Amino acid sequence: MKSEAAPTPAIATRSGRLQGEVVDGVHRFLGIPYAEPPFGPRRWLSPTHRSRWEGVMPATRYGAICPQTGGNIDGSPAEGEDCLNLNVWTPDPSTQGLPVMVWAHGGGQVSGSGASSLNDGTHFAKAGVVLLTCNRRLGAEGYLYLEEHFGDGTGPGNLGIQDLICVLEWVAENIRHFGGDPDNVTLFGESGGGAATQAVVATPGAEGLLHRAIVQSGGHAAQRADTANEVARHVLDMLAIKPGDIDTLRQVPWAKLVGLYGSLQQLDGVGQPQVYLPVIGEHMPHHPVDAPFEGMGLDVDCLIGTCRDEMGLFGASLPGLEGSVLHQRAKRVVDAAGVSWDEVMSGYEDARPNLDRDAIFSAILGDMWFRVPSIRIAEGHARHASANTFMYLFEWESPLRGATHALDIMVFGNGLPFAMLAGDADHERTATYMRDAWRRFAAEGSPSLPGYAWPSYGDRRETMSISESPTVLEDPYKSEFALLRKVITSNWQRLGL
């Protein structure tokens, strides 16, 4: 039976007053604008904090989501230009000092939103957390690199990351009014959101705004100015717009830029490894994977991990993995490690004798995309940071796809993503364990729970296996680490990854 909604008290923020709803004992505020619409004269510029409004704004419905270059995959609200909005769930705005968790949605920087039903924050709020979800610019609007064609400050190639930082600034200014502690903020995300979380850590403008980070299955790739500039040149050629004519570019309907995405994907070698990614440059001077080795985020507690069978989802949704962008990226990582593909195949066969060659191939792709960069981040953070480092390996198995990519979104307690592909199964115990561990980490900097001590990641590479029966593993990737040591211990920016 659906709970009836009652109005919340009006909440005062820096930009104006809001009124949300109380549903099932949780106060929720939806569609709160945190920045001005990033279109018209503000298109391809850094976000501008929302100007003040008069009266009390109703915050009972999700706002428009940002244009989806990769397609609106989760049935969220319609796309629109006034899309930089966020959502808050809190147990009680009159409370003080609750831990704050800000969710960065997945979608490979081209799709997704803060309005997915899977990311509803009700269960976190009931556990004593102030939970935020948000939208950020995606695809061309967020990552088209235009500075070399239109001057500094226009299209720096990481506006989606700047939007997340703007959300954190909103939290710093306003979250006390929702019961949250601005000095205890955790940014967390999965897949593209995990990558975006680490990119925020690697961005100097985020310093002091977050205190903990949870990085779930981040595909930690970055664009260089030269490859990003090539993407922009193709876009301008397709639109017949000359460099410098920013007014004409700003008048192009966003749907037209969305429509170019398929053509850009077909161009050989354009974008490394994807068309739209955060760009290494003035705002993000280091590759996100190298951040801890460059002294960034060392005061931020880090919880990082991946799913054991990442490629299970992609194998079900793509025509084939061999020759795909996933395969191409994996080969680049293997080449950077200074070993051959055959050597890696042989090494994985020795380490995982229970898998056939197809499963070994999928495991390598998943590890090169997600596990290897995550291990590098954990290694750097554990070695150099004053803050805590923890690592996990998600091993809860779905009936059809194993422990595949995105299943760890079960942490929200709202069901399994892609359940039709993965096969539904009882996951409540694992989801509850994860949510309790995530909440504990956000509150205290450690995910340890009674009966489930979670040691810090150190010389023995202690890793928590997340499943029906969580277990601590010691150096679970020992043989793979030895095989791929160079790429785990070397600077990715110099390696060209």
Q: Position of tokens 């596990």?
A: 371
Active site residue 191: yes
Catalytic residue among 310, 379, 397, 480: 310
- 15 catalytic? Reply is no
Nearest to 180 by CA among 354, 11, 393, 318: 11
**310 has catalytic annotation:** yes
Q: By the 8 A CB rule, do 454 and 444 touch?
A: no
> Which of the residues 283, 405, 462, 465 is marked catalytic?
405
Please pick, among 15, 111, 191, 217, the residue that the annotation labels catalytic.
Answer: 191
User: Phi and psi dihedrals of 103, rounded to 5?
Assistant: -95, 130
Among the listed residues 104, 487, 464, the one whose alpha carbon sits nearest the alpha carbon of residue 290? 487
Residue partners of 124: CB distance under 8 A and separation at least 6: 89, 101, 131, 412, 435, 439
Residues marked active site are found at 191, 310, 405
